[in-house]
């Protein structure tokens, strides 16, 4: 068992796909040893998002993102760009004029193009792929598109325009549409339709990012495979972009557990083993797997969806030691 637990995650999967982690400037220091041993790609957890990097119209703050990219380049790691256009974490100025009134379509398109162009050209040859548009599909109901300000001001073609600007800014970058709840049948069809529009509009898209914010109970392995089959039928590659395995159902608001139970640990191990078998089976389609975090001591799930509740969703524990789930992922024939 010690030999198994000492394996490198990314080296074990070298013949399958890169293994990544979402990081911030603090994490590249506090989790440096784990990152260098087990991961060969990184994503900026928050520091490439609009509100952090472009908080005011004439103000840009690249420093935290630069620190992460420089760390990756120095250690021969790939970088995923996350994310250019999203409904969340966007400063209000983007949608308003100097009188506080909502801007029109042309102004917002100009601002979108400027933001995408500056971002992508700054990190050209360092960031190999981008989540161009993030979470634009509506979860439920008849509407395909989330009623975001991007959508309401520009219209449904805001997605195509974003991808057009991205393709122009860096023709060599691999362009992804990224979303969560991809395995829900109702939403997977909407994501498929968005991707098909982009493909039909001059092959603007290269792949779909499936956020893997899953838990120890669902989605089923069959739903994961069905979704990969659906998206790849468009001729697109898939990346698992935000993988973590919560110990709780999303609707479970309990805060009673101070540590995971034996059953939780076993279920998480079983789930990680099963999904990585699927990923290996789809090695010709899946071109990357990125965890949303490195170890259980630092995870966004400690505050979402239940604020202040501890969760243990990753392969390394709070002491940065490999868990049983890690062994199940790296020990295969």
> Could you say which of 45, 135, 160, 164 is catalytic?
135
Ranking 38-52, 242-256, 270-284 by mean pLDDT, the lowest is: 242-256
Distance of CA 99 to the CA centre of its chain: 36
pLDDT tens, residue by residue, 53-76: 999 999 999 999 999 999 999 999
242 in active site: yes
pLDDT-based confidence at 258, cuts 50/70/90?
confident
**Mean pLDDT for the stretch of residues 289-296:** 98
| Structural domain boundaries, residue 35 | 2-330
Please give the mean pLDDT across all residues of the chain: 97
DSSP letter string, 41-56? EEEESSTTSHHHH--B
CATH number of residue 309's parent domain: 3.20.20.80
- Which candidate in 45, 160, 164, 242 is catalytic? 242
Residue 148 CA, distance from chain mean position: 19
Position 139 pLDDT exceeds 90:
yes
* Tally of helices (H runs) and strands (E runs) in the chain: 13, 9
CA distance 248 to 250: 6
User: What is the per-residue pLDDT for 124?
Assistant: 97
**Total number of domains in the chain:** 1
pLDDT digits (tens, 9 = 90+) for 162-186: 999 999 999 999 999 999 999 999 9
pLDDT recorded at residue 182: 97
What's residue 255's pLDDT? 87
Q: H or E element: which one contains 210?
A: strand 207-210
Mean pLDDT of 290-309: 95
Q: Does position 333 have pLDDT exceeding 90, yes or no?
A: no
Query: What residues have CB less than 8 Å from 259, skipping those under 6 apart?
Result: 312
The C-alpha atoms of residue 58 and residue 298 are separated, in whole angstroms, by 33
């Amino acid at each position: 068992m010690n030999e198994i637990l000492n394996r490198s995650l990314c080296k074990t999967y070298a013949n399958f796909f890169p293994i990544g982690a979402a990081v911030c400037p603090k994490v590249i220091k506090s989790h440096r040893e784990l990152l260098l041993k087990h991961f060969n790609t990184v994503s900026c957890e928050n520091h490439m998002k609009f509100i952090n990097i472009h908080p005011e119209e004439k103000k840009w703050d690249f420093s935290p993102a630069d620190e992460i990219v420089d760390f990756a380049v120095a250690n021969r790691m790939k970088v995923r760009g996350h994310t250019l256009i999203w409904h969340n974490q966007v400063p209000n100025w983007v949608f308003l004029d100097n009188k506080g009134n909502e801007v029109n379509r042309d102004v917002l398109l100009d601002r979108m193009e400027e933001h995408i162009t500056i971002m992508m050209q700054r990190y050209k040859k360092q960031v190999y792929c981008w989540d161009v548009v993030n979470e634009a599909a509506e979860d439920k109901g008849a509407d395909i598109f989330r009623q975001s300000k991007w959508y309401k001001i520009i219209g449904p073609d805001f997605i195509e325009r974003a991808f057009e600007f991205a393709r122009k800014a860096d023709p060599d970058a691999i362009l992804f549409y990224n979303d969560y709840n991809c395995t829900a049948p109702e939403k997977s069809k909407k994501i498929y339709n968005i991707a098909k529009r982009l493909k039909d509009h001059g092959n603007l898209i290269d792949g779909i990012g499936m956020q893997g914010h899953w838990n120890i109970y669902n989605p089923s392995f069959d739903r994961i495979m069905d979704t990969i089959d659906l998206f790849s039928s468009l001729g697109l590659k898939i990346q698992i972009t935000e993988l973590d395995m919560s110990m709780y159902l999303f609707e479970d608001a309990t805060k009673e557990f101070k540590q995971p139970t034996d059953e939780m640990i076993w279920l998480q191990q079983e789930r990680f083993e099963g999904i990585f078998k699927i990923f290996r089976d789809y090695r010709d389609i899946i071109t990357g797997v990125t965890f949303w975090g490195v170890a259980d001591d630092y995870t966004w799930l400690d505050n979402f969806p239940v604020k202040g509740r501890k969760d243990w969703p990753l392969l390394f524990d709070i002491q940065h030691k490999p868990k049983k789930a890690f062994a199940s992922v790296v020990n295969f024939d």
